[in-house]
Copies of this chain bind each other. A is one copy, B any other.
């Protein structure tokens, strides 16, 4: 057999399958309660509505649904993305829109359009592993900035920019961040934009969870505060309609999006037509905001159950955690624990509960982490309670 390793591009040589995915395999055991995933609540999917819509589209517009489409997206789907973005000020006159096959594709291709080997990207540390791994495939240098309970630490961001004046791109999930669940304050957002201007970097604002606020006050998107055209906004229908449909979008300055569109053309030509048409029809016939409202209420309830059970069962004084105002994750820290959270994860799997260790989300994954991520969106309330109880027992034993 051929030794394939000599054929690998440098960018993939160090890459191994996602640790999260490996854990999912270990979790095939149906008795395991998973607080590890990032799935939205399936119980609310508007399946009946989408069933009727899909059937009808294929009867009445078969050629549109089944023939090749345009790379930038079906025009009415672009209007749908625009209408979602306009609600949070994320569309400006003159911006272009590209419909992407999930928001990840937008992040991947934006990076491909901007980053040469060795270029620097400023990121929150910890951050979403999917984006970090996408960045890594372009052989960039990741510069991490710590995240406080109210978002990225701005003094550390300034220090990072000063130390890396050649950084080209800044990536942030300002609202209900993955993995921490934290939201960047308005003041910090304004400062971030000032710093981006001063140090001349472009910004990717990744906002898949922004619609899922269940407490506190809305904070303006970076894109809405951006007067210079520095922000490339990545939106998603994964958490407000269906992740399996893979519908996302990018909004930003036209010249930049023209380059990204070429990269999309050679990547998947266009996003599948049927799912685009289904989203258009769903938003035309139904009030998607009412549907989102149901999700918000459910996630608020599930989050509260998780927090209450943590309060009750976690060893006192040994664990701190973020209290999210929306989104689907919260983040735990064991300040006095000098081991790695993977030890907690292993014990948890013995007790049939799954969580994700902090190192997964770190810029340097080889460092020890005393943190872990919990998800409350995807499973039933009684399972959340039982899962957290098991986790609490493990933490009481280990810490």
Contacts and interface: CB of A to CB of B under 8 A. Distances in A.
Contacts of A65: 47, 244
Given A50-B66, A101-B101, A272 B244 contact: yes
A52 interface: yes
A2 B272 contact: no
A202 interface: yes
B261 A17 contact: yes
Contacts of A271: 246
A115 interface: yes
A108 B267 contact: yes
Contact of A262 (B12, B47, B71): B12
A68 B244 contact: yes
Nearest to A68: B243
A242 B69 CA distance: 11
A290 B6 CA distance: 43
B244 A273 contact: yes
B59 A48 contact: yes
Number of copies: 2
A265 B16 CA distance: 12
A9 B67 contact: no
Interface in A44-78: 45, 47-48, 50-52, 54-59, 62-69, 71
Contact of A116 (B9, B102, B105): B9
A133 B262 contact: yes
Contact of A267 (B9, B11, B267): B267
Interface string A98-117: 00111011001000111111
12 contacts: A12-B113, A17-B262, A40-B67, A42-B63, A47-B66, A50-B66, A51-B57, A68-B243, A100-B268, A130-B269, A137-B263, A246-B271
